[in-house]
Structure 1
């Protein structure tokens, strides 16, 4: 008798527990979509929130995830000792090297990574089954040998697929955080490229001033020699000296500008103590025209910013299903086994109960979930409009800089250089007056600086577009904001 009762007790408890696990593995057929007044959809959305597969609650809605990409993990982006020695001994620093250093040292990337791990931990927690409760019970105590003593095992069986839906809601949060992490990588890379091109332009302006100072010095010498030969006058010497002093001042200011740009670049990279070094000239961006509508479609399709918004829509949709399942009550099951001292026999007992959702049908949380879905949807629309606005500005900057670079390279710079050479020769032979030479020198130098600025603007505009219009590598990263509250709600039958 003792063995039969014990086997009945154990097999009955295991059977009911497995029933609860099987129920949690299936999708609730009672789930319903948002109400009609909340289901708003664009006529032709660029990105549609993928539906949750009915047979796999834990699967992400996006076909591709940043966690499944071929990119290296952020913690593994390090240069080997041999590579560091090569960089240290090289005469210049490349953009690719600084990008790798920035990805390895940027604290915002580590923030985003920690937020993703936080969401993963919450996802694991919200799907856990409740622990059983082991207890003791005694009846008729002290009643002349008729005491009954026993042990009980109480288990909450969560119904309505609430635990599985919890995990699915948090799975979308994990996906959103992983896409935020990928977006932060793009922001860091874009910032490094923008600061790199600023420092590169400052370096080239400094070099142009250094290269043009000998020309000004030679002009002073020619003016003095012409005065000594009674072919020139003192004002020509003074004008030449003024121009030389201006160039020396420009060189000094260009030095300060390069130092400031380098400090900003090193801070963006995450190595603020890195000393100023010669920057390697990267390959110039193409000056071919771009189809900006195709560029917009490409950005919308690839942008991790929009994919994160897409995951937030899926999370809101799944959370609505989760809140609709909350009124389904849980089953409280208690199994007991004991001995009656009065009859010297063993006995077992079963107790089951569940709350009745009469006064609380979770209507408030369902309405909140509907509003959250609506907000997440419109947030994606807002981001799409923001992308188009940012692209319009970047396109204008790219097209303007592209036209300037082509014109400077093909016409203005060659003509300014030839004009300076001919003017110097004519001045030495007395065919030009000194004012004409000063104008030619100033035109050549100013044209050189303007061409440098145009190339910088073109490279920065191209970097902005290639970086999917994402910047702000040191801006604060949004936190996951997830905890195990959904699990507490699932276990609370009231």
Structure 2
């Protein structure tokens, strides 16, 4: 039997054209080949999901910068004793005051804001790492799904070609009087069913490439892959024990908790009243003299003691503590599950490949027996159906292995091809 995955280059190019035809909704998009996964991931810095992450970090940095700013001073001018009754109906007895007012923060408000701003930046960066790992995971699955869709189309074509050949043999035997007409009708029904499956596989391929193109944010419609990703998963990966406390989701939750601690401090310190110091000069027109003004104003915390904001910040901290613990437990369970699923996926792929080899040999022998008149058509159809199922099982096993490897890589802080994400 010929290799169903490496032949018919011309036919594969035709399928690429079919995929492009199915995505003409974006007329400006140009069809092209997706680069290897590692290169594609590096080229997706401008993808919408990546931009969201960068914008979140930039926002935190802006807030941290603003936290360092001191209160602005104010300048006031006031003229009194004018426009009234005599002797204050002119400006001869007016008093003009020019005053400079500077609020002074007490209780360590500014240092608390600065610390909270720095913690917010660290939390945003930790969330960014987790977000980029999640994006790499989704992109790997989309890339693998496109490759699986390619292979399902090729397998569907192989099965259709084999069915058409079986139909040709069946019709020849019917004409020779060695088979009943019913047998050729059975073969024809099988062939028509496989044609429908091929159409469905082509449609799924178009959808898979559309998802990959949208996720990459490249503005172009991919219709083929430059490099298979599934072949890179054949060697079993080497991985040792993973520390749940070093996984990106846990570190992000911990950074959020640290930021929440500082926000509680900010809320508590905000209850301390600030002092406003005033310095000014007054012109006394009646006496033709100038005078200096010095003043201090302090608000009385009779009504607003910031208790609501303090309670809200403390509630946020309790929630952050709970999220840290939840992230730790989830990371531990995800690590155990990922390890187990990867081991199972490797075994599943090996078993599926062995099953495929057996099914290929069974179909070969069944076809020889049928063509020589030693076996009925029903046995040939059953052998080919078993071969098709075995091929599908291999693809399903490889797709499951891809998901398991991608999940493990996410926990390790890398892409599926090993690039470290920081």
Normalising by structure 1, we get a TM-score of 0.66
1:302 is the counterpart of 2:247: yes
* Residues 137 and 89 (structure 1), Cα distance of their counterparts in 2 relative to 1, 3 Å cut: closer
* CA pair 254-366 structure 1, distance change in 2 beyond 3 A: closer
Match of 1:414, SS? helix
What SS class does the counterpart of residue 131 from structure 1 fall into? coil
Q: In the alignment, is residue 114 of structure 1 matched against residue 55 of structure 2?
A: yes
Q: Specify which of 262, 266, 288 is matched with residue 322 of structure 1.
A: 266
Q: Quick one: distance in 1 between partners of 2:282 and 2:385?
A: 105
3-state SS, counterpart of residue 373 of structure 2? coil
How big is each residue's C-alpha offset from its partner over 1:248-276, in whole Å with a ceiling of 9 and x where there is no partner? Answer: 22222211221222222222223576153
Q: Which has the higher contact order (CA 8 A, sep 6+)?
A: 1
Q: Which consecutive residues of structure 2, in runs of 5 or more, have no partner in the other structure?
A: 1-29, 414-422
Structure 2 residue 121 is the aligned partner of structure 1 residue 177: no
CA shift, 1:397, in A, is 4.5
Distance in 2 between residues matched to 1:357 and 1:90, nearest whole Å: 67
Matches within 5 A, 1:11-410: 93-106=35-48, 108-136=49-77, 151-270=98-217, 274=221, 276-278=223-225, 280-282=227-229, 283-286=231-234, 288=236, 294-295=241-242, 297=243, 300-303=245-248, 305-338=249-282, 347-357=291-301, 361-391=305-335, 394=338, 397-409=341-353
Q: For residues 433 and 140 of structure 1, what CA distance do their matches in structure 2 show? A: 119
**Aligned equivalents of 1:192, 1:160: Cα separation in 2:** 49
Aligned partner of 2:6 in structure 1 is none
Going from structure 1 to structure 2, the CA distance change for 1:149 and 1:425 (only over 3 Å counts) comes to closer
For the 8 Å contact 2:137–2:410, the answer to whether it is kept is yes
CA change 1:146–1:438 in 2 (3 A) is closer
Root-mean-square deviation (CA, aligned residues, Å) is 3.4
Q: What is aligned with 1:423?
A: 366
Aligned to 2:18: none
- Paired residues, number: 377
Gaps of 5+ in 1: 1-87, 471-494
Which residue is equivalent to 2:385?
A: 442
Question: Equivalents in 1 of 2:93, 2:204: separation in Å?
Answer: 96
Task: Give the TM-score normalised by the residue count of structure 2.
Answer: 0.76
Aligned to 1:18: none
Secondary structure, counterpart of 1:468 in structure 2: helix
